[in-house]
Amino acid sequence: MTAKDPALTALAQGWCSLSLLHDKIEAHIERALQEGHDLSVREYSLLDVLSRQHDGVGGHLQMKQVADAVVLSQSATTRLVTRLENRGLLERYLCPTDRRGIYTNVTPAGVRLLAEARPTNDAALHEALGEAAANPELTPLVDAVKSLYTSA
């Protein structure tokens, strides 16, 4: 494969389009969440992931699992958890069956903020996808994203 290989060029263009779509969506949602709720996209994502935990078997996530879910390193996730814990939105506690394990739960204040922010996040996502769909280069990607959540 050479640098002028059409398949390589198409792949690179596809990656650039996907990156552009991601950046546009994230920036749009970031503005909306910051303005409306003083939350970043990452903070919202962390609250959302942690709010889905349950008391059943495997219902609580270890920090590595949380980091993977919010697409951050473990150290960045730990800093983010600490920041939200300092705001009273999260709390950490020792795992009752393994004293080496530490779990994180969303506090009632965090649950309220997440509930208030969810419509903002969803509306901003729909707006960003609508704006991106106007770009012919991004339309197929927008259609793919929409098909993911409409078929679920």
Task: Look at residue 152 in the predicted model and tell me its pLDDT.
Answer: 57
Task: Determine if residue 103 is left, alpha or beta; phi over 0 gives left, psi from -120 to 50 gives alpha, anything else beta.
Answer: beta
Query: What pTM, to 2 d.p., does this model score?
Result: 0.87
CA pair distance 60, 76, nearest whole angstrom: 19
Q: Which of 5, 77, 9, 86 shows the shortest CA–CA distance to 46?
A: 77
Domains of the chain (ranges plus CATH)? 38-150 (1.10.10.10)
Q: What does each of the 152 residues of the chain score in pLDDT, given as a tens digit?
A: 555 777 668 888 889 999 999 999 999 999 999 999 999 999 999 999 999 998 777 788 888 889 999 999 999 999 999 999 999 999 998 877 777 778 899 999 999 999 999 999 999 999 999 999 999 999 999 999 989 877 65
Q: Which helix (H) or strand (E) holds 64?
A: helix 63-70
Task: Look at residue 134 in the predicted model and tell me its pLDDT.
Answer: 95
Task: Look at residue 81 in the predicted model and tell me its pLDDT.
Answer: 96
Task: Look at residue 151 in the predicted model and tell me its pLDDT.
Answer: 64
**Identity of the amino acid at 100:** R
| The residue to which tokens 């002028």 are assigned | 4
Which structure tokens are listed for 149? 């959540």
Which structure tokens are listed for 59? 């219902």
Task: Look at residue 93 in the predicted model and tell me its pLDDT.
Answer: 86
Task: Look at residue 2 in the predicted model and tell me its pLDDT.
Answer: 54
Residues across the chain: 152
